[in-house]
């Protein structure tokens, strides 16, 4: 009986220990049902430390915040309690049921996965009009507006879309916003005129109230289709500072930061087709106000000399979206394919400047050649009429050269033989000066002896290479330096692949730094306090400036989760990380 009781108690204790040591990795969402204008928070929690965390793809959602990482490590009555959480904030992109996939993490060499979570996204829900609610205050005081210069343009007529961000005097924006959805302009030729490096604050009105506003971007569009065309919205994630309910010791209300996703909304324009009435035969799609001219750099020359004929169109309109008319010259003038050049700038008013087709012309015979007028047609949207411009007529005089058959023929006797200049065939070589090719036997030739003696000449080269290799193997310091550089590249390879994506780059960089420390110092991620890391590195004879640089990189990785980072800073941190890891590996003992 006692034996049974002992076995029962022993089994109970073993089950308790197993349950205590069991790894838990779960995904939790803030709500299972939300409106399309709301946000969802998802937390990935684990009770033991792990590495190589991989979030799901978040299909049908946009990540507007995170990942935010938090660690809780405490001891109560001799028992350690550990918790680590990765948090993301998601904005739904469409209504209906969506599934958030599995996240993975490696703990003690094993891979663990969360369970998929199904979320229902409904139509937009009303936001409570609570003046004390920071989200409501932010949504009512910041607005993104897309202003279209002309909602009913002609095909290929320039219009501008100006994106303005209106901010009331009750809130402020002190941090850089993030663009999360950019319009594609599928049915337009487009050119962005960004103002990101030179924002100017204006005073204006929005819905009759005083606001401040900045012009974020001006986009010039040329519609390429007729009918109703949609202009996709610009969507931004903006950190907004609003007054919260907490107050400081002087009674002033403290500012609270709220992240809001703001969209300019869809805009639709109705594009009119160009009128058929009065449309010229040679019209090729030019819309705007243009001038047209055909010029030559010389009008008098000799045969077989070249001249340049320029067909130039200048003005304001869709200069890059049509071709200039071609020139037609007499067959006795040799004409080469034109060289196209553009001098076009795009401003708020649209394209303006000039395009030029330059023809190289080489006359073959003596004579006078008239260059007939060339016509160019375009549609002027201001007058809503077609216009046709003709170039001026001019002649080209070829003074010296052979006479063509048409010029030399006698009008009274058309069968009279034409006398041509002897220079017509001067390029044909009549004496070929051919010589027999002497055949040389391979045996005892120069090639034979070089192939026979070549391997013997390579023996000193192999000896020299062997000596250099042996010297390199004996170079302890040099080998240590090369191993350090190779180690730095190994740990930073993933970060380098994501160097164009700052968020992914800093996640990979932080993971690389942690993995490097685990390999060198034999510590766990939960022990990676910055002060503890500094002590361990200094204890292993790593110089203090190098340790400070390493700690600075860890701080940059943490800071990058909450603030946007430029590509230049990313490249600088990558170079610094490679140098620091290499230096530590040389100094550590």
CB burial of 37-65 (b: ≥16 within 10 Å; e: otherwise) equals bbbbebbbbbbbbbeebebbebebbbbbb
Q: Which pLDDT score is estimated for 316?
A: 96
pLDDT at 356 over 60: yes
Average pLDDT over residues 148-173: 92
Edge-to-edge strand ranges of the sheet holding 40-46? 25-29, 40-46, 79-92, 61-76
Q: How far apart are CA 261 and CA 140, in angstroms?
A: 13
pLDDT at 483 over 80: no
Residues 6+ apart with CB under 8 A from 534: 547, 551
> What is the chain's mean pLDDT, rounded?
81
The percent of residues above 90 in pLDDT, for the chain, comes to 27
Least-confidence region, from 291-305, 389-403, 551-565: 551-565
- Which 3 state secondary structure label does DSSP give 274? coil
Q: Which pLDDT score is estimated for 415?
A: 43
pLDDT at 159 over 90: yes
First to last CA, the chain: 60
Q: How far apart are CA 250 and CA 256, in angstroms?
A: 17
* Nearest in space to 238 (alpha carbons), one of 176, 324, 296: 176
Better pLDDT: 179 or 188: 188
Least-confidence region, from 172-176, 268-272, 407-411: 407-411
Q: How far apart are CA 429 and CA 259, in angstroms?
A: 83
pLDDT level of residue 20 (50, 70, 90 thresholds):
very low
Instruction: Please write the tens of the pLDDT for every residue from 360-387.
Output: 999 988 888 888 899 999 999 999 999 9
Instruction: Please write the tens of the pLDDT for every residue from 43-72.
Output: 999 888 888 888 998 888 888 777 877 787
Strands 117-122 and 51-54: unpaired
Average pLDDT over residues 406-428: 49
Q: How far apart are CA 27 and CA 113, in angstroms?
A: 9
Q: How far apart are CA 41 and CA 61, in angstroms?
A: 11
pLDDT level of residue 114 (50, 70, 90 thresholds):
very high
Residues forming beta bridges with residue 242, ordered by sequence position: 256
Instruction: Please write the tens of the pLDDT for every residue from 532-562.
Output: 888 888 888 888 888 888 888 888 887 776 6
- DSSP category for residue 564: -
């Amino acid at each position: 009986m006692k034996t049974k009781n002992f076995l029962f108690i022993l089994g109970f204790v073993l089950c308790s220990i197993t349950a205590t040591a069991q790894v838990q990795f779960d995904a939790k969402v803030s709500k299972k049902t939300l409106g399309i204008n709301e946000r969802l928070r998802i937390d990935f929690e684990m009770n033991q430390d792990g590495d190589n965390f991989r979030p799901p793809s978040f299909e049908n959602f946009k990540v507007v915040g995170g990942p935010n990482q938090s660690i809780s490590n405490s001891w109560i009555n001799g028992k350690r309690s550990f918790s680590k959480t990765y948090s993301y904030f998601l904005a739904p992109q469409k209504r209906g049921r969506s599934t958030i996939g599995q996240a993975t993490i490696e703990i003690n060499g094993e891979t663990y996965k969360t369970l998929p979570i199904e979320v229902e996204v409904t139509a937009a829900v009303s936001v409570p009009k609570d003046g004390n609610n920071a989200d409501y205050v932010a949504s009512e005081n910041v607005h993104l507006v897309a202003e279209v210069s002309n909602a009913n343009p002609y095909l290929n007529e320039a219009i501008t879309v100006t994106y303005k961000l209106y901010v009331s005097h009750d809130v402020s924006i002190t941090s850089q916003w993030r663009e999360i959805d950019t319009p594609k302009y599928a049915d337009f030729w487009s050119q962005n005129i960004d103002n990101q490096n030179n924002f100017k604050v204006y005073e204006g009105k929005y819905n009759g109230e005083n606001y401040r506003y900045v012009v974020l971007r001006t986009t010039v569009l040329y519609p390429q289709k007729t009918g109703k065309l949609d202009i996709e919205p610009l969507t931004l994630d903006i950190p907004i500072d609003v007054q919260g309910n907490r107050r400081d010791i002087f009674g002033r209300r403290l500012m609270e930061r709220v992240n809001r996703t703001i969209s300019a909304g869809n805009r639709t324009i109705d594009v009119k087709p160009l009128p058929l009435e009065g449309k010229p035969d040679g019209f090729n799609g030019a819309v705007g106000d243009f001038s047209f001219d055909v010029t030559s750099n010389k009008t008098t020359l000799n045969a077989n000399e070249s001249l340049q004929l320029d067909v130039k169109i200048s003005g304001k309109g869709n200069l890059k979206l049509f071709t200039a008319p071609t020139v037609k010259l007499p067959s006795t003038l040799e004409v080469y394919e034109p060289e196209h050049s553009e001098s076009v700038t795009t401003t708020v008013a649209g394209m303006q400047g000039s395009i030029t087709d330059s023809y190289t012309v080489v006359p073959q015979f003596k004579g006078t050649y008239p260059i007939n007028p060339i016509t160019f047609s375009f549609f002027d949207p201001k007058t809503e009429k077609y216009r046709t411009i003709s170039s001026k007529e001019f002649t080209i005089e070829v003074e010296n050269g052979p006479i063509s058959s048409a010029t030399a023929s006698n009008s009274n006797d058309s069968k009279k033989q034409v006398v041509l200049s002897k220079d017509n065939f001067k390029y044909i070589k009549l004496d070929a000066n051919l010589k027999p090719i002497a055949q040389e036997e391979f045996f005892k030739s120069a090639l034979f002896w070089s192939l026979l003696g070549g391997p013997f000449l390579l023996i000193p080269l192999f000896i020299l290479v062997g000596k250099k290799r042996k010297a390199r193997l004996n170079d302890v310091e040099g080998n240590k330096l090369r191993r350090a550089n190779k180690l730095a590249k190994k740990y930073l390879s993933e970060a380098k692949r994501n160097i164009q994506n700052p968020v992914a780059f800093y996640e990979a960089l932080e993971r690389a730094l942690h993995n490097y420390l685990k390999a060198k110092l034999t510590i766990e991620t939960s022990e990676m306090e910055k002060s503890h890391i500094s002590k361990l590195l200094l204890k292993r004879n790593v110089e203090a400036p190098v340790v400070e640089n390493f700690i600075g990189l860890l701080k940059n990785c943490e800071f990058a989760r909450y603030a946007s980072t430029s590509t230049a800073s990313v490249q600088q941190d990558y170079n610094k990380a490679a140098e620091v890891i290499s230096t530590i590996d040389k100094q550590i003992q």
